[in-house]
Structure 1
Amino acid sequence: MRHKDTTWVFNQDISGKEVATGLERKVLAYCDELMCAENHFEVGGVGALHSHPHTQITYVVEGVFEFTIDGVTKVVRKGDTMLKQNAVVHGCVCLEKGILLDIFTPMREDFV
């Protein structure tokens, strides 16, 4: 997974890592200032409530998720996005098998 600062990162060349039951993560292109990660969820997979010192945008590639951000819970679907400012508590539950694409600034050191 050491492809920091690599111009071309092909999804087929990246192995996913199981980070929780029903949740596999692929870290895609990244540098010190920015990171892209793809999260594959099975139905019932949970992104536990947490916070971090990174601003994050999540894009729903496919599936249906129940997201809680800063105490507010909503259901999101393909094409929806969520902005999570640094230190905001957030998490999700997968209602229909899907993929979330996360963009972080700065990069998540704990992911590599």
Structure 2
Amino acid sequence: MLSHEHKNERWVFYKDIPTESGGEGVTKRILAYSDDVMVVENTFAKDAVGKLHHHPHTQITYIKSGKFEFEIDGEKHIVTEGDTLLKTNGVEHGCVCLEEGQLIDVFAPYREDFVKD
């Protein structure tokens, strides 16, 4: 199954979702999504970088595990398990993984660029 074949599916089973490259040292799984919202799991190896970028989506990141240095709009903080970050439309952000971990991202609306062939 390609990651985009489950848009608008009520039931999305983790075992059925393939991992995809999210950059060097990063894998992602596109979980449930619709036109309005998308959930993505990102797994980072130690020292992997989520380069600075911006996009026209609101993004909330939940730190499921690990330790990361995040930069949002020029401000940097170290975040760990249980912390949550809000990145509004167009705000530049990125991270460096200090200890292997996982991030859960929620995007509104969904990231069309993540599901194009």
Place the TM-score, normalised by the shorter chain, in its bin: over 0.9
Gaps of at least 5 residues in structure 2 are none
Deviation at 1:18, TM superposition (A): 1.0
Partner of 2:8: 5
Backbone CA RMSD of aligned residues: 0.5
The structure whose residues are more often helix, as a share, is 2
Structure-1-length-normalised TM-score = 0.99
1:20 is paired with a residue whose SS is: coil
Partner of 2:70: 67
Deviation at 1:6, TM superposition (A): 0.4
Deviation at 1:13, TM superposition (A): 1.1
Q: Report the Cα distance in structure 1 between the residues aligned to 2:113 and 2:8, rounded to whole angstroms.
A: 17
**Correspondence for 1:108 among 87, 108, 111:** 111
Deviation at 1:19, TM superposition (A): 2.0
Structure-2-length-normalised TM-score = 0.94
After superposing on structure 2, the runs of 4+ consecutive aligned residues of structure 1 that deviate more than 2 Å are: none
Look up the equivalent residue of 2:102 and give its one-letter code: I
Q: Report the Cα distance in structure 2 between the residues aligned to 1:15 and 1:111, rounded to whole angstroms.
A: 13
Q: Report the Cα distance in structure 2 between the residues aligned to 1:11 and 1:80, rounded to whole angstroms.
A: 23
